[in-house]
Amino acid sequence: MSISSATDETAASPAISSLMTFLFAATCGLVAANLYYGQPLAGPISADLGFTPAATGLIVTLTQIGYGLGLLLLVPLGDLLENRRLVLVLIAASAVALVGASFASTPSLFLLASLCIGLSSVAVQVVVPFAAHMAPDESRGRVVGNVMSGLLCGIMLARPFASFVAEASSWHMVYYVTAVIMVLLVLVLRATLPVRKPHTKLSYGALLASMGRLALTSRVLQRRALYQAGMFGAFSLFWTTTPLLLASPAFGFTQNGIAVFALAGAAGAIASPIAGRLADRGMTKAASTLAMLLGMGSFLVSHFATDGSTLAIGLLTASAILLDFGVTTNLVCSQRAIYAISAEHRSRLNGLFMATFFAGGAIGSALGGWAYATGGWTMTAWIGFCFPAFAFLLFLTEGRGK
C-alpha cells in the first residue's frame, strides 16, 4: 500500500477527540495491567495452590508466552477484521481468563488461565493502531503518545495495586476485581467505539505470510524494533532485579516498600505525549538519541546506589525515572515511524514490532536474574548499560544505511 493511500484513509476519518483519546489510553492501561498482576503475587499463589519451586516461575512465564503468541497470531487480525468487534471480543476473553485465575484450585488450571490472560491482553496492541488510524497525520505522534502514556501507567501501577489488594484481602480478590473492571470496560467501549472496517481482503494464512515479507523488507521496522528491543531489554532487566536489590539486607525493603518504589516508574509515562509531539515536529532522530543516552545514563547513576543509604535510594529512584523516560520516548517515536509506513499494514507492523522488542525484554529479564545472582548489582548494572548502548551504536549507523 502506498503512502498516498494511507494519507487518503486518514483524511477520510475525522480527527480523534480528546475524550476518545483518553478512553483509548484508559483501555490500554487497564488491559495491559492484566499482564503484570502475577509478578508480585507469584509467592502467595504458589503457596496456596501447591506449585513446586521450579514451577513457580511459570506463573509469569506463561502469561508472557501467551502475550507473545497473541502479538504474532491475533494482533494482525486488526488489518482483517472489524476493529471494534475484535477489541470487545479480546477484552471479554480477558475477563473470562481473569475469572478462571481467581477461581483456579490447581496449578494446571491457574497456568491455563495465565496463558489465556496473556493471549487476550494483546487487545491493547489492536487499540493503539486503531487510535493511530483515527488521528490525522500531523497529530498522530501526539495521539499515540497520549495513548501510550495510559498503557505505561497501567504497566507500572499494576504491581503496586496487586500487592496492596492482596495484602488487604487475598490474591484471589486481585483477579476477581480486575475481571469486573474488564466487564465494565467492554460495556463502555461497546457504547463509544466507532466501527472501523479494514480494506484488506486476504485470508488469515495470507495475512500471516505477509508479515514475513514485511519483516524482511521494511528497514524502518527492522531498525526501530531492534532499537526498542535494546531499550526494553534494559527496562526488563532493571525491574526484574531492583526488587531483589531492595529486599537485600542493605536496603531491607518490605513488599509494600518495593511496591511504593515501583510507583516511581510511572513518572516515565509523562514522556509519552512529549515524545509524540517531538515526533510530529520531525524531531524523531533527536528524541531517539536523547532516549538512548538516558537509558545508558540511568545505569551509570545506579552504580552508586548499593549501600542502602537515603542517597542510594534517591539515586536508584532517579535511575528508574531516567530509564523509563528513555524507554517511553523511544517507544513512541518508533511507533510513530512504523505507523507512517502503511495504514493498511499497521496492525501487522505493530505485531512484529512488539514481538521483537518483547523478545528483547525476555532476554533482559533472564540475564538480569543471572547477573544479580552471579555478580550482584554491579555486574547487573553493567549488563543493563549494554542494552541501550547496543541500540545507540546501531542507531549511529542509520545515516550510513540510508
Sequential DSSP letters for 181-212: HHHHHHHHHHHHPPP--------HHHHHHHHH
- pLDDT bracket for residue 399 (50, 70, 90): low
* Contacting residues for 323 by C-beta, under 8 A, at least 6 apart: 234, 235, 238, 268, 294, 295, 298, 299
pLDDT tens track for 171-210: 999 999 999 999 999 999 999 999 988 877 788 888 888 8
How far apart CA 146 and CA 264 sit, in angstroms, is 19
**214-395: CATH topology:** Growth Hormone; Chain: A; (1.20.1250)
pLDDT tens track for 246-264: 888 888 887 678 778 877 7
Question: Of how many residues is the chain composed?
Answer: 402
Closest CA to 330 of 266, 369, 278: 278
Closest CA to 198 of 79, 90, 88: 79
Query: Backbone dihedral region of 308: left (phi > 0), alpha (psi from -120 to 50 degrees) or beta?
Result: left
Residue 8 has a pLDDT of 41
Give CA separation, 175 vs 90, 107, 121, 122, 171, in Å: 17, 15, 14, 18, 7
Please list the residue range(s) of the chain that carry CATH number 1.20.1250.20: 8-204, 214-395
How far apart CA 179 and CA 98 sit, in angstroms, is 5
| Amino acid found at 77 | L
The DSSP line for 251-312 is: T---HHHHHHHHGGGGGGGGHHHHHHHHHHTT-HHHHHHHHHHHHHHHHHHHTT--S-SHHH
Closest CA to 102 of 208, 183, 193, 186: 183
Count how many Cα atoms sit within 13 Å of the Cα of residue 8 in the half-sphere of its side chain: 7
Residue 63 has a pLDDT of 86
Count how many Cα atoms sit within 13 Å of the Cα of residue 308 in the half-sphere of its side chain: 10
| Amino acid found at 176 | Y
What is the overall mean pLDDT for the chain? 85
Is the pLDDT at 22 greater than 80, yes or no? yes
Contact (Cβ atoms closer than 8 angstroms) between residue 347 and residue 72: no
Local structure of 133: helix, strand or coil: helix
- pLDDT bracket for residue 241 (50, 70, 90): confident
In CATH, what number does 8-204 get?
Answer: 1.20.1250.20
How far apart CA 40 and CA 257 sit, in angstroms, is 12
Element (H, E) at 136: none
pLDDT tens track for 284-319: 898 999 999 999 999 999 988 878 788 989 999 999
Closest CA to 41 of 124, 114, 90: 114
